[in-house]
Amino acid sequence: MDLTQQDWVSQLEADEKAVILDVRTEDEFNDGIIENAINIDIHKGQGFISEIEALDKDKNYYVYCRSGARSGKACEVMNELGFKNAYNLAGGILAWNGDVVAP
């Protein structure tokens, strides 16, 4: 599900089961992240699937990439794998107005 930054942030802040997931490459991740994000690169193909499958399906995932395209795809994959709550940050980190920190 695509959420605007405002909805993504307000839902995230109220969510005790939230996990922030960055699906960019390691190089992009190292350039700066949304605080507390974990990195699983969607370009890893089967490696991405394996790492996603190891995550707790009872958590709620707030997913982002650079522009929102890869994270939208990641949310679709997560839904297919049985994750009920995967939220895509529309516009990605390019549209992010909040803080960006070093990983």
Q: One of 40, 52, 65, 89 is an active-site residue; which one? A: 65
**How far, rounded to the nearest angstrom, does the alpha carbon of residue 49 sit from its chain's CA centroid?**
14
65 flagged as catalytic = yes
CA distance 72 to 78: 10
Task: Kindly list the catalytic residues.
Answer: 65
